[in-house]
């Protein structure tokens, strides 16, 4: 390793925070970035993530702290005032905590389709660099993950990151376990470097974004009596839409033979069956589609379908709402 790269600050660490949802690769992306900084860029680095149950759909935060070689990193506190925030799913921007603490001269990278400017951007500093990249679409097209695309964008957005170094780190991370995905990851990374858009004028505020420290919802003074769970994760109100990573299962009714194989493998029972008029149930029930509210996009139904009636389609904005067949029509407002 030659000389270490130069960080922009001498008196403090350079800090990044990845805001994500389980299944989009934020934890692995943060690990990869910190490893590349330590092993290939001569820096000191630390990385850790915070998440709840380890499954698709849970909120994930991943923290990376970088320092020059002579400055030891002795803190493992969450990054509260990041230089860079990377948002892996655009739905997260609705929550002010996602961009909380971003420094006035910092950088926000978020995934979102072209032309869509989420409301939450106005509360960002006017001096911040705001970048949009359609990471989910690119990842889906390249058979990769959003983390590969977003690390490519980071390589362009942060001056001391080197694209070649990060691409090598990405290849090394996956080449042993998943050599089949290396080409897709490299393509996704390169598109992340090339296809992002700067959004000048999107931030409207002055100074750093205020830090938000959220208190636990329930403490000893506020917990409901008897250990009652007021918001169970398994109710009919649960919504798994944000777990999907760019793909939707779509039913072609003309090809469906109503065999039920897809329903047997669907882990969330989100396929919708209707009885034909004047026919006894269940003998003549037919598959009519998917309730996308409960579909986490695992695509097992597609792998199982014997007639290719269920196919994988890119999830464009509004497509799920357009094709949705509600399991519980009484819940639809
Ligand atoms: S992708 Fe298919 S199997 Fe997976 S949750 Fe959605 S409908 Fe069910
Ligand atoms: S597995 Fe395919 S053919 Fe069978 S019910 Fe499901 S979509 Fe229809």
DSSP string, 158-169: STT--HHHHHHH
Q: Binning pLDDT at 50, 70 and 90, where does residue 237 land? A: confident
Half-sphere exposure of residue 128: CA atoms within 13 angstroms, side-chain side: 29
- The domain defined by 241-328 carries CATH number 3.40.1390.10: no
- One DSSP character per residue, 39-80 reads HHS--EEEEEEEESSSSTTSEEEEEEEEE-TTS--------S
Specify whether the CB–CB gap between 128 and 104 falls below 8 A.
Answer: yes
Q: Binning pLDDT at 50, 70 and 90, where does residue 273 land? A: very high
Worst-scoring range by mean pLDDT, 48-57, 81-90, 126-135? 48-57
Domain ranges of the chain: 14-198, 241-328
Q: Which of 255, 282, 309, 313 is the pocket-test mutation for ligand 2 (most atoms within 8 Å of CB)?
A: 309
**What average pLDDT does the segment 137-154 reach?**
93
Structure tokens at 22: 């389980």
Residue nearest atom 4 of ligand 1, based on CA coordinates: 298
pTM for the model stands at 0.79
pLDDT on residue 202? 93
pLDDT on residue 53? 61
- The CATH number of the structural domain formed by 14-198 is 3.40.920.10
- What's the CA gap between 307 and 301, in Å, rounded? 11
**How close is the Cα of 241 to the center of ligand 2, in Å?**
22
User: How does the average pLDDT of the chain come out, rounded?
Assistant: 89
* CB of 296 sitting under 6 A from ligand 1: yes
pLDDT on residue 90? 86
Q: Determine the Cα angle at 28 with ends 111 and 242, to 5°.
A: 40
Whether the pLDDT of residue 251 is over 60: the answer is: yes
In Å, what is the CA distance from 8 to each residue of 36, 108, 113, 208, 243? Answer: 18, 17, 31, 18, 36
Q: How do beta strands 59-67 and 44-51 pair?
A: antiparallel
**How close is the Cα of 252 to the center of ligand 2, in Å?**
9
**How close is the Cα of 297 to the center of ligand 1, in Å?**
5
Nearest CA among 10, 11, 50, 13 for reference residue 30: 50
* CB of 308 sitting under 6 A from ligand 2: no
**What average pLDDT does the segment 295-324 reach?**
93
Strand stretches in 115-214, DSSP E: 129-133, 197-198
Among all bound ligands, the one having the nearest atom to the CA of 266 is 1
* CB of 131 sitting under 6 A from ligand 1: no
Among all bound ligands, the one having the nearest atom to the CA of 267 is 1
**What average pLDDT does the segment 136-146 reach?**
90
**How close is the Cα of 268 to the center of ligand 1, in Å?**
7
Q: CB pairs under 8 A, 24+ apart, for 276-281?
A: none
Q: Binning pLDDT at 50, 70 and 90, where does residue 55 land? A: low
pLDDT on residue 127? 97
Number of H helices, E strands in the chain: 8, 11
Nearest CA among 106, 128, 108 for reference residue 118: 108
pLDDT on residue 129? 97
Among all bound ligands, the one having the nearest atom to the CA of 271 is 1
* CB of 257 sitting under 6 A from ligand 2: yes
**How close is the Cα of 149 to the center of ligand 1, in Å?**
25
């Amino acid at each position: 390793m030659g000389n270490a790269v130069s960080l922009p600050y001498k008196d403090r660490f350079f800090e990044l925070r990845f805001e994500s949802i389980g299944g989009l690769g934020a934890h692995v992306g943060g690990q990869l970035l910190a490893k590349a900084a330590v092993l290939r860029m001569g820096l000191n680095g630390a990385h850790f993530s915070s998440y709840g149950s380890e499954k698709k759909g849970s909120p994930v935060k991943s923290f990376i702290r970088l320092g020059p070689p002579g400055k030891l990193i002795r803190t493992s506190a969450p990054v509260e005032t990041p230089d860079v925030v990377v948002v892996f799913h655009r739905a997260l921007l609705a929550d002010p905590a996602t961009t909380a603490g971003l420094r006035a001269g910092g950088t926000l990278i978020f995934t979102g389709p072209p032309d869509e400017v989420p409301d939450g951007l106005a509360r960002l500093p006017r001096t911040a660099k705001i970048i949009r990249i359609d990471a989910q679409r690119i990842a889906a097209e390249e058979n990769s993950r959003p983390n590969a695309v977003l690390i490519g964008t980071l390589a362009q957005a942060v001056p001391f990151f080197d694209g070649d170094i990060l691409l090598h780190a990405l290849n090394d991370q996956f080449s042993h376990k998943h050599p089949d995905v290396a080409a897709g990851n490299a393509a996704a990374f390169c598109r992340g470097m090339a296809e992002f858009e700067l959004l000048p004028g999107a931030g409207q505020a002055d100074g750093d974004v205020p830090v938000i420290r959220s208190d636990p919802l329930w403490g000893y003074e506020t917990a409901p009596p008897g250990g009652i769970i007021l918001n169970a994760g398994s109710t009919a109100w649960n919504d798994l839409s944000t777990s999907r990573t760019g793909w939707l299962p779509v039913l072609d009714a003309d090809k469906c033979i109503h065999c039920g194989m897809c329903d047997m493998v669907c882990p969330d029972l989100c396929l919708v069956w209707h009885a034909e008029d004047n026919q006894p149930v269940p003998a003549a029930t037919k598959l009519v589609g998917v309730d996308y509210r409960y579909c986490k996009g695992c695509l097992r139904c597609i792998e199982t379908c014997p007639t290719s009636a269920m196919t994988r389609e890119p999830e464009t904005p509004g497509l799920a709402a357009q094709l949705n067949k509600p399991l519980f029509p009484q819940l639809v407002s």
